Amino acid sequence: MEGFQVDLSGQTAIVTGASQGLGRAVAVALGTAGARVACVARNAEKLKETVDAILEGGGQAEAFSCDVTDRDSVENVVEHVADEWGGVDILVNNAGITRDTLLPRMSDDDWDLVIGTNLKGMFLFSRAASRHMMSKKRTGRIINMASVSGLIGNPGQTNYSASKAGMIGFTRSLSKELAGRKVTVNAVAPGFIESDMTKALGDSLLDEVKKRIPAKRLGVPDDVSATVLFLASPASSYMTGQCLVVDGGMTG
């Protein structure tokens, strides 16, 4: 993110799914920009690594172990952050899982777990956080981590693609509800980003993937976190209800 500077000093951010991957990159980027970051995930040990990375960089952060599909757990986290940290300014709904398989073989659990984590978790955190954003009568930012799978689909991912398409629809609807209250709601749709998940595809398949990307490379987590920083910043104050695609031109 060299050359891209955002000052979020004095603001409080909640990032779900912050224990690894894009969630960790986003949490660290927000912390580096000066926000105090509530890092949320199930895995307390991995969350500590994220918090430590933010603290080592001179930022402020705290870990919250939470099941994003449990209403009481979600509301407890949001209430704690709002009470102890003086409100909620930024929410990044990043928590998500995959359970890939072709539809004829997809179990009820495969469907329910993906829809529950990816969609219900976003709903619960957005509902709880938006109440505080509106009550404080100051600007708020809700940023939902969608995917190009929610735009173009992907074989073996009917559950995941449906959840990500749902996130985009949710984003557009909620943006219309909150625009008059100085709260923006936007989504980010990453394409193929370097991660443990993409490494597992193997070199030969990744070479084929890169051929489909006009940029001829996979994205890196900083490509996505920089987009989130922009949406969290005052520079995006007149942008709401949008889905920013970060895919190297793959979806054109």
Active site residues: 160
Residue 58, Cα to own-chain centre: how many angstroms? 23
Residue 103, Cα to own-chain centre: how many angstroms? 26
Confirm if 26 and 18 have CB atoms less than 8 A apart.
Answer: yes
Confirm if 246 and 189 have CB atoms less than 8 A apart.
Answer: yes
Sign of CA dihedral 73, 45, 229, 197: negative
Confirm if 146 and 93 have CB atoms less than 8 A apart.
Answer: no
Spatial distance between the Cα atoms of 162 and 115, rounded to a whole number of angstroms:
8
Spatial distance between the Cα atoms of 173 and 231, rounded to a whole number of angstroms:
17
Q: Which residue has the tokens 């957005």?
A: 126
Spatial distance between the Cα atoms of 233 and 242, rounded to a whole number of angstroms:
15
The β-bridge relationship of strands 243-246 and 90-93 is unpaired
Q: Which residue has the tokens 């709601």?
A: 185
Spatial distance between the Cα atoms of 15 and 90, rounded to a whole number of angstroms:
8
Spatial distance between the Cα atoms of 193 and 198, rounded to a whole number of angstroms:
7
Confirm if 19 and 43 have CB atoms less than 8 A apart.
Answer: yes
